Structure 1
Amino acid sequence: MFLSSSLMGGIGAFARYINAPGDFIAFCRSFSGIIGMSLFFLAVGGFAKLKATRFTPSIFFSGMFLGLLSSLYVISTQYTTLANASFLIYTGPIYSTILATIFLREPFKPVMIASLVAVLAGTLLIVQIVSEKGFGLDLDPKYLFGNIIALLSGVAYGLYLFVSRYRTDCDSNVRAWYNFLFAVCTIGIMLAMRWSKLEYVVRDEVDGVPTARVDEAGSFVTMPWSISQMDGRSWMVLIAAALITGFGAFYFLTVASRILLAGELATISYQETIMASLLGFFLFHEHLTALQMVGGALIIGGGISQVYFSTRSGDPVPATKRPTPQPEPGSRPQPVDAT
């Protein structure tokens, strides 16, 4: 999960070098995943295991929610502030933890609560919802639509993490293939509906750093987008972003969701904000305030404590004894792949 959240944190840095709307970038991230997993299955004969796996609704919904969270988040950033969008999507892990505690009876131990509170507080600081200027969630009516879309992306994120806790008997590679497939279908439908209205943010090179152009009102300058307008650099960076933040990040997320409890997934997932902040600092000279550094320390501390208490010997809920979700109607038990 740490690898997944770290890789996901790089999408913002990659996107600054791509002259394309976020919707298209989100589609390519999942598309690279289905291509990569299909090639892997062809090489190792994995399609036999795919055919032998009983397909159930949770497999479909986990892929659909993966596509929704990716696409809705990108859309929300065009209609609200980045801080609002970042905070609202990160409400998702909280929903998943609550749902898993109620419906799957997964334990919600005091140390897990403390870790989750720490990383949530850290996230409020690092995305500057809470800063030296006070509370910064912008509730201006002009951001209402964007805030609703961002909140829906958080709901989709939470439902993805929750649904992924079903069918933990399913092989991780098979689950990843289905996740990519239905994510591509979901984003593809949304992309097709918005194709004629797609726009991208115009960026200028300032001291070698891609910087968004702003108008007199302080808003980002956007232009209608056509796939034929993408230059060579944009294509190369897009391919790298798709492989690293798409195929790599989403695959590790699928593996982690099969192993970890929802509360553990939630806590460690916030490490993504650390990677995004570090890349912003080193690549784009985006300096962190003192409160943002405190937020980063809280996130790292909460994540490390969760990893420690989840893996230490004597953990009261070892992996082999953790609650197993009840099989869905029509599903059959499947052997767990120990490889």
Structure 2
Amino acid sequence: MSEVVKSNRSFQAYAFPALLLGGISVGCAPILVRLSEVGPSATAFWRVSLALLPLGLFAALMRGQTDATATPLTLREWLTVSVPGIFLGIELVAWHEALYKTSVANATLLVNLTPVFTAFFGWVLFRRPIKRVFMSGTAMVVVGVVLLVSSGWVQGKGALSGDAIALGAAVIYAGYFMSLGYARQRFSSAVVMFASSASATLITLPLALAEGIFVPASPAGWATVVALAWIVQVGGQGLVTFAIAWLPPTISSLAMLIQPFVAAAIAWGLFEEHLSALQIVGGVAVIGGILIARRG
């Protein structure tokens, strides 16, 4: 019993550093997408396909170590673990496209609206109750989005279309999280992550081939997509997932705060994407609204 307690305390001690490191890693994703030598769809394809090897090894190592079912057997079970990947593949393509049209800050902040859309769809589809605090947070988010989109209006039609695509990506990502939650009721995280990455690979492949430039042309180009797959998709997301299991929701929300700040800071220095007053106020409103809404 004492060994279990010590083990749990050890996990808790590592959880917060893991959350910070994971948030920083995921925050680098939009920068790597911008630096990619291939298009948004091809970048999404390499991001999920190159992640299959480490995810497959992890799933094999975890086999039999959880109470969840190890392997899907029936067609229905395979669909259960594959549907999240369909949402993931489409979301990645859309968000990557948004990053080419609008600022890194706007695209990252807008896609982080996913928790709001997830709660909304949960209420519409499953009649999950929504508290007043959620409505207050949502109202604050709407104000922030209006300010962010207004900054895109100043930048031109391209930025506006990028903002719209990023919002659409947030909606699609909500579908990913809802289907992921359903799959996790039956299967382990390792199995679901591998299967969803495999189906995301199949979804993004034809879109990537249609872009024309499919294969990175230089070692630096390959390093970029490998970093997206291994450091961001596997490492960053894995660290955040581990940390959330051992930290209270209020602290776990820091991961959402870290990502846009890291992305905006690097984009400021690397791409000279200076934040306007509208973006700063809008970003604060969006982040604050999401934190409030999550309490509901």
TM-score, structure 1 as length reference: 0.61
Counterpart in the other structure of 2:87: 65
Counterpart in the other structure of 2:149: 129
- After TM superposition, give the deviation of residue 46 of structure 1 in Å: 5.5
- The answer as to whether partners of 1:76 and 1:149 remain within 8 angstroms in 2 is yes
- After TM superposition, give the deviation of residue 8 of structure 1 in Å: 3.5
Looking at structure 2, the residues matched to 86 and 156 of structure 1 have their Cα atoms a distance apart, in angstroms, of 14
TM-score, structure 2 as length reference: 0.69
Counterpart in the other structure of 1:235: 222
SS of residue matched to 2:70: helix
Counterpart in the other structure of 2:182: 166
Looking at structure 2, the residues matched to 42 and 73 of structure 1 have their Cα atoms a distance apart, in angstroms, of 31
Counterpart in the other structure of 2:10: none
Looking at structure 2, the residues matched to 139 and 115 of structure 1 have their Cα atoms a distance apart, in angstroms, of 28
SS of residue matched to 1:101: helix
Cα RMSD between the aligned structures? 4.4
Looking at structure 1, the residues matched to 126 and 199 of structure 2 have their Cα atoms a distance apart, in angstroms, of 24
Counterpart in the other structure of 1:50: 70
Structure with more contact order per residue of length (Cα contacts < 8 Å, sep ≥ 6)? 2
> Aligned in 2, Cα 1:249/1:60: closer, same or farther, shift over 3 Å?
same
Q: Does residue 39 of structure 2 align to residue 18 of structure 1?
A: no
Counterpart residue identity of residue 196, structure 2: N
Q: Does residue 208 of structure 2 align to residue 185 of structure 1?
A: no
Looking at structure 2, the residues matched to 291 and 139 of structure 1 have their Cα atoms a distance apart, in angstroms, of 17
- After TM superposition, give the deviation of residue 253 of structure 1 in Å: 7.5
Counterpart in the other structure of 2:249: none
- After TM superposition, give the deviation of residue 76 of structure 1 in Å: 5.2
- After TM superposition, give the deviation of residue 40 of structure 1 in Å: 1.4
- The answer as to whether partners of 1:34 and 1:180 remain within 8 angstroms in 2 is yes
SS of residue matched to 1:287: coil
1:252-288 Cα offsets, whole Å, 9 max, x none, are 68779999xxxxx999858643332122234444332
Higher strand share: 1
Looking at structure 1, the residues matched to 260 and 107 of structure 2 have their Cα atoms a distance apart, in angstroms, of 13
SS of residue matched to 1:165: helix
- Fraction of identical pairs, as percent: 23
Which blocks of at least 5 consecutive residues in structure 2 are unaligned?
1-18, 247-251
Higher helix share: 2
Looking at structure 1, the residues matched to 48 and 143 of structure 2 have their Cα atoms a distance apart, in angstroms, of 30
Q: Does residue 135 of structure 2 align to residue 118 of structure 1?
A: no
- The answer as to whether partners of 2:149 and 2:163 remain within 8 angstroms in 1 is no
- The answer as to whether partners of 1:176 and 1:251 remain within 8 angstroms in 2 is no
- After TM superposition, give the deviation of residue 115 of structure 1 in Å: 2.6
- The answer as to whether partners of 1:270 and 1:299 remain within 8 angstroms in 2 is no
> Aligned in 2, Cα 1:281/1:237: closer, same or farther, shift over 3 Å?
same
Looking at structure 2, the residues matched to 137 and 234 of structure 1 have their Cα atoms a distance apart, in angstroms, of 29
Q: Does residue 287 of structure 2 align to residue 297 of structure 1?
A: no
- After TM superposition, give the deviation of residue 17 of structure 1 in Å: 3.3
Query: Larger radius of gyration, structure 1 or 2?
Result: 1
Counterpart in the other structure of 1:278: 265
- After TM superposition, give the deviation of residue 66 of structure 1 in Å: 0.6
Which blocks of at least 5 consecutive residues in structure 1 are unaligned?
199-224, 260-264, 311-339
